[in-house]
Amino acid sequence: MKNAMSIDVEDYFQVSAFAPHIRREDWDALPCRVERNVDTILALLDEAGARATFFTLGWIAERHPQVVRRIVDNGHELASHGYGHQRASDLTPAQFRDDVSRAKAILEDLGGVAVRGYRAPSFSINRGNWWAVEALQSAGYVYSSSIYPVRHDHYGMPDAPRFPHRPNGAEGILEVPPTTLPLLGRNLPAAGGGWFRLLPYAASRWMLRRVNACDGAPCMFYFHPWELDAEQPRQSGLPAKTRFRHYVNLRRMPGRLRRLLRDFEWDRVDRVFLEGGCQ
């Protein structure tokens, strides 16, 4: 069974948890490391013969258009992570529409391909901003991966469906949630991110294999370029929890990712969930 591999293309200083500590207006003055990190990911994917979807910030695309071109030239899917990495829940409907439309236009212009997918920063679509689902469809997106059916202090909608569904009915946009595994009355995050760095690799492999085997469904996995970059500039003044979540096991991430790419079959989100009949 082929699973969907996805990368949220943002730099270390754009992480939502850093927002109270790094001013948005200072972003352009900080050393950008996303290009070298994306190149590392492209090489790992090529080594494994895998393809993936890159949910890319419009802000990054404007400043590093060569990153967009390399993603497309290597046969991967180009998708949107919005423009400025602002949580959908922090924007007004008008601001959100502008953000997702602006990002789509920039990515399509630079990549020369249609951008069909979107992922909200920090999985920030929930019942409190349900208007965002219709706004994405109006902006021309075909699918989203923005509702994470877990309980988390920064995001999550634990009662949302675990598998692809159409939140606004049969004619609406397709929502493809990150993979979870139900255990002891709650959904465990099995889709990557910080949990993939924190837990032993065997635990993540077991959860993904169980979803494939017991649910008979493909998985949706994700990570960020900065998670492979143990040499990124360290931020001072961070709360202990934020510092731990961001920096734990960065040096182990490339090796774990190699094992993951070897142990499962991976492809682009559009091929697995749109063309693969999981609609």
Q: Residues 3, 208: contact at Cβ < 8 Å?
A: yes
- pLDDT tens digits, residue range 237-272? 999 999 999 999 999 999 999 999 999 999 999 999
State residue 267's pLDDT score.
98
Answer whether residue 277 shows pLDDT above 60.
no
Confidence label for 153 from pLDDT (cuts 50, 70 and 90): low
- pLDDT tens digits, residue range 39-61? 999 999 999 999 999 999 999 99
State residue 184's pLDDT score.
85
- pLDDT tens digits, residue range 91-142? 999 999 999 999 999 999 999 999 999 999 999 999 999 999 999 999 999 9
State residue 171's pLDDT score.
86
Per domain, the residue ranges of the chain are 2-274
Q: Domain 2-274 adopts which CATH fold?
A: TIM Barrel (3.20.20)
Answer whether residue 279 shows pLDDT above 60.
no
List the one residue out of 257, 123, 261 whose CA is nearest residue 180: 123
Confidence label for 276 from pLDDT (cuts 50, 70 and 90): low
Q: Which two tokens stand for residue 263?
A: 């142990």
C-alpha dist (Å) from residue 173 to 20, 69, 127, 146, 207? 33, 27, 16, 12, 27
Whole-angstrom Cα distance, residue 231 to residue 239? 20
Whole-angstrom Cα distance, residue 47 to residue 32? 25
